Structure formats: C-alpha cells, structure tokens
Amino acid sequence: MAAEVQEQPASLSKVDSAIDDAPASPSESKPKHRRSSSTVSGVFSIVDLEKENVDLKIAPETQKLNWKINTATSTIDDKEALAKLLCHPLIKKIDLHFPLGLEVTARNNKGVTVKDACDAIYKQFKKKADDELEAPYLAGFEWDREECYTKFIVHQKKTGDASSGGGSSKKKKGKGGDEA
C-alpha cells in the first residue's frame, strides 16, 4: 500500500496554480539582473582596476582640444578627438577632480570617451560667465596613481592656443615699473 501512495502524485493530470518551479522563499532564489545587456565586455570599473593594480593611459588628444569649458562640446573643432576613448583600459566612470576641490563624474557603460568627460565638465560650468573663470580652457587630464587611483586631475589654462598664431601676445605683462 505504501508503494501506491508514492505513485499517486505522478499520475495527477491537473496543474495546481499555487505550485510552480520557483523556490518557496525569495532567499532561495537568485536575483535576476535586469540590466545584463548594459554590461560590455572589456569595460571595467575603476575600483576593480585598482585592486588588480592596472596602469591607466589617458588619451593625449585631451591636451590639444583648445576647449573653453563653459561652451558646448559641439564647439570643439576636432570631432575625431571627441570620439576617442578617454583612457585605456576602458572604464565605466571616472571622477574628474579640479584643483579647487570640485569634482564631476563622467559615465559611459561602453567606455568613457573624451566627449563624455567634456560633457560632464560643461554641465558644471555652462552657466558661468567668462570673467568668472580664472582659467577657462581645458589643458588636459592627469592621473596620479599615488594621490588617488580612482580620479583624474583636470588641468586648466588661462588662454587657448590660437590657431592663427599670436593670440596670446595681446596681453602684455608689466608696465615698466616692475623692473627695478
């Protein structure tokens, strides 16, 4: 008679809606990540790279942009440089640290580009007037492994490089009285 009891549940043809393949409690189930498609292979978290002690290389094109940080990135002449990746290996996000303490974050799940970094900077400075900025031009980025692995330092300069040449010669320093 005990053998008949074990066979009986297998012969049931009705499906009970209360019973499914899911585990009884939520703790037994593994959470399903909705955004698995947003992860791209070859793009890393800066924190993971720090743990593995990987060297970062910043794109040298950032030093030649001649971009005023309170103007839109569409005003940058070198469109090809904007499409370049900000650093290698590719990273999902990076904090950009300004010397006076301000920080902005550039993000892109497919790898942060030069444009992503410039857009993040522009978002912070777009409402600033030219005379409010002491050094309004982007000079480039620096990565200092010892100071802070997870941040790039933003360097700025007072004047942009004039493509016609002689743009900075308009401003003369010292009016003769300083030489004594």
Q: What share of the chain is helix, strand, coil (3-state, %, to 5)?
A: 30, 20, 50
* % of residues, the chain, pLDDT over 90: 54
C-alpha dihedral sign at 78, 68, 103, 141 = positive
Per-residue pLDDT tens digits for 79-96: 999 999 999 999 999 999
DSSP three-state, residue 143: strand
Pair of tokens at residue 149 = 């692995």
Per-residue pLDDT tens digits for 47-58: 999 999 999 999
Q: Residue ranges of the alpha helices (H) in 25-106?
A: 46-52, 79-83
pTM above 0.85, yes or no: no
CA dist 135 and 123 (Å) reads: 17
CA dist 171 and 159 (Å) reads: 10
Pair of tokens at residue 144 = 């200092």
Tokens 């301000």 belong to residue: 102
Instruction: Delimit the domains of the chain by residue range.
Output: 40-162
| H/E stretch holding 138 | strand 137-143
* % of residues, the chain, pLDDT over 70: 68
Region 5-34 average pLDDT:
54
